[in-house]
A = this chain, B = another copy of it.
């Protein structure tokens, strides 16, 4: 339980909404900024403004998944303005207050460093990345069904990378009945790929393994689906690139060859915001409890 915890939630999308609900359920007190258009009443959550939050008493501040832009503005799906995270505001926070974000870029990182505040970019954590791989892969499955005229079952799928997302991709496409080959570079990954019943190949040999591929799914954030690879692919095949922008695919060349290639960022928030919010809420709770201990009079 998060009884007596006070938390600011500044902007966000449907995932934040789920975070808010979960934390309120756990008895925390929440101050919401940028949620004017949210109709629902959530007991324990107070809609307010940046300047009206009891800044000095907050145990945590939760930012939207993408963090701030380079001027500190925070995207807010439930409002038509964007709250801003300024140096002045941040410096009113208690030193023990934790700032949660999905990812972070310079402005936010610097701000927290200067203000000597702990910043937790949740998406850097292995556990979050693994939990998130589940909605990511369901989004990928949805796209593979939507954008092809054949079934995943009995199709030839090549997946690239066997990290936190790649393992889940391979597992689920196999479960759907595809013949799955997985490209990786570590010997231990190749061994696990074999053990799990996929066909392993060294990612350096990628261009030799795509000739019969119907669906290519990339999770490697490096330009590995290059001209040499794409020219070996069948015209009816499709490339779904999950790696963070700009992906690992030569999209220009794919287009020229007439092969559909899609960069698909942000799938969890898109296909399963409730689950994606639950994942974040549960890790946030756990971190708060570990760091600050359970409170309340029980």
Contacts and interface: CB of A to CB of B under 8 A. Distances in A.
Contact of A138 (B130, B145, B164, B272): B145
A19 to B, nearest CB: 13
Contacts of A197: 177
A171 B196 contact: yes
A195 B127 CA distance: 10
Interface stretch (A47-55, A71-79, A183-191): A183-191
A275 B195 CA distance: 13
A231 to B, nearest CB: 23
Contact of A176 (B126, B138, B145, B275): B138
Contacts of A191: 126-128, 130-131
Contact of A272 (B150, B164, B196): B150
A156 to B, nearest CB: 14
B127 A274 contact: no
A175 interface: yes
Interface string A125-154: 111101101110011011001101111111
A107 interface: no
Contacts of A150: 272, 274-275
Contacts of A138: 145, 151-153, 176
B126 A187 contact: yes
Interface residues of A, number: 45
A50 B118 CA distance: 64
A186 to B, nearest CB: 8
Nearest to A132: B191
24 contacts: A126-B187, A126-B191, A127-B187, A127-B188, A127-B191, A128-B191, A130-B188, A130-B192, A130-B195, A131-B191, A131-B194, A134-B151, A134-B154, A138-B176, A139-B145, A141-B141, A142-B146, A150-B275, A151-B271, A167-B192, A171-B196, A175-B176, A176-B176, A177-B195
Given A125-B187, A148-B272, A154-B194, 16 more contacts: A14-B149, A125-B188, A130-B191, A130-B195, A133-B195, A134-B153, A138-B152, A141-B142, A145-B272, A149-B272, A150-B272, A151-B275, A167-B192, A167-B195, A168-B195, A176-B176
